[in-house]
Amino acid sequence: MLQAGQKAPEFTLFNSEKKEVSLQDFNGRNVVILFFPMAFTSVCTAELCEMRDNISTYAALNTAILGISVDSPFTLAKFKEQENLPFDLLSDFNKETSEAYDTLYETFVMNMRGVSKRSAFVIDRNGIVQYAEVLDNAGEVPSFTAIQETLTSIK
């Protein structure tokens, strides 16, 4: 599992506007990466709306937010629009980034394979993981308090 102090794996994924977004695009800024199982589900919606509702807190900490799931860019575009999310949602349809961050369920509900585990990573402005939380229970959400405390400590 990826841990604090390690270099964050690089990635380039398509966002909901069908544009490529890379981790290196955020060099010099902190990044919170939230892997989530599936768009339009209740816990994923609550998690991402929590980030939306506190976007000013993250902006004040020079932090970009990226949501990543194995959903298609088209599904993520509808989800982003419906929930008015002011940050990029990235499609890891090929599951390479979820695999690099060790956040894939072997088997999810209804025997689905290759779904991202709900997880949160704080990456500092130099690309180093400062916080990592991978949840096996998709009904739980990451500790937003711990994420914000980590960002405050590296400000």
Q: Position of tokens 């970009």?
A: 64
Q: What are phi and psi of 128, to 5 degrees?
A: -100, 135
What burial class does residue 67 get, using C-beta atoms within 10 Å of its C-beta: 0-12 exposed, 13-18 middle, 19+ buried? buried
Q: Where in the sequence numbering do the catalytic residues fall?
A: 44
Q: Which CATH architecture has domain 12-153?
A: 3-Layer(aba) Sandwich (3.40)
Work out the angle between the directed axes of helices 42-53 and 73-83 (0-180°, nearest 10): 60
CA distance 105 to 112: 9
Domain boundaries in the chain? Answer: 12-153
Q: What is the average per-residue pLDDT within 53-81? A: 96
45 DSSP β-pair partners? none
Predicted TM-score (pTM) of this structure: 0.94
Q: What is the average per-residue pLDDT within 61-79? A: 97
Question: pLDDT tens across 82-120, in order?
Answer: 999 999 999 999 999 999 999 988 766 667 678 889 999
Structure tokens at 96: 């390479």
